[in-house]
Homo-oligomer: A and B are copies of this chain.
Amino acid sequence: MISEHGLSDRKLKILHAIIQTYLETGEPVGSRTISKYTDLNLSSATIRNEMADLEELGYIMQPHTSAGRIPSDKGYRLYVDMLMDEKEQELSEMQEQMLDKADKMEQLLKQAAKVLANSTNYATMVSTPMNNANKIKFIQLSMVDAEQVIAVIVLGGNVIKNKIINIEEPLSNENLLKLNMLLNTTLNGMSIEAINLGLIARLKEQAGIHSQVVGKVLDAVADAIQVDEDMQIYTSGATNIFKYPELSDKQSAQEIINAFEEKQQLTELVTQTLSQEENTGIQVYIGDETPVQTMKDCSVVTATYELGDGMKGTIGIIGPKRMDYEHVLKSMKRLQNELDQMFHKNE
A residues sitting closer than 8 Å to B (CB atoms) are 103-104, 107, 137-138, 140, 142, 144-145, 148, 150, 152, 154, 158, 160, 162-164, 223, 227, 235-239, 242, 248, 250, 253-254, 257-258, 261
Assembled-state Cα–Cα distance A142/B138 (Å): 9
How distant is A230 from chain B, measured CB to nearest CB, in Å? 11
A317 to chain B, nearest CB (A): 16
From A164, A235, A238, A239, name the one whose CB has the most chain B CB atoms within 10 angstroms: A239
Distance to closest chain B CB from A344 (angstroms): 15
Q: A145's contact among B104, B137, B148, by CB below 8 Å, is which?
A: B137
- Looking at A137, A142, A237, which has the most chain B CB atoms within 10 Å of its CB? A142
A152 and B158: CB pair below 8 A?
no
Question: CA of A152 to CA of B227 in the docked complex: distance in angstroms?
Answer: 19
Residue on B nearest A139 in the bound complex, by CB: B142
**Shortest Cβ gap from A248 to chain B (Å):** 6
CB–CB A254/B238 < 8 A = no
Q: Is the CB of A144 within 8 A of B150?
A: no
C-alpha spacing A257/B160, complex, angstroms: 32
Bound together, the chains give a CA A221 to CA B140 distance in angstroms of: 19
Contact B223 A239 (CB under 8 A): no
Q: Which of B160, B248, B253, B257 contacts A164 (CB 8 A)?
A: B160
State the Cβ distance, A293 to closest chain B Cβ, in Å: 17
Across-interface contacts of A138 in B (CB, < 8 A) = 142, 144-145, 150
- Return chain B residues, CB-CB under 8 Å to A148: 158
Question: B residues within 8 A CB of A258?
Answer: 239
| Contact yes or no, B158 A162, CB < 8 A | no
State which of B137, B248, B257 has its C-beta within 8 Å of the C-beta of A250: B248
Which one of B137, B163, B235, B254 contacts A239 once the chains associate, using CB atoms below 8 Å? B254
Q: Judging by beta carbons under 8 Å apart, are B154 and A160 in contact?
A: no
Closest-CB distance, A175 to chain B (whole angstroms)? 16
14 A-B pairs (CB sep. < 8 Å)? A104-B163, A137-B145, A138-B142, A140-B140, A140-B142, A142-B152, A144-B158, A148-B158, A152-B152, A158-B164, A160-B164, A238-B257, A238-B261, A239-B258
| Bound CA span A140–B162, Å | 13
A238 / chain B contacts, CB cutoff of 8 Å:
257, 261
Q: For A164, what are the chain B residues with a Cβ–Cβ distance below 8 Å?
A: 158, 160
Residues of the B chain whose Cβ atoms lie less than 8 Å from the Cβ of A257? 238-239, 257
Question: What residue of chain B has the Cβ atom nearest to residue A142's Cβ?
Answer: B140
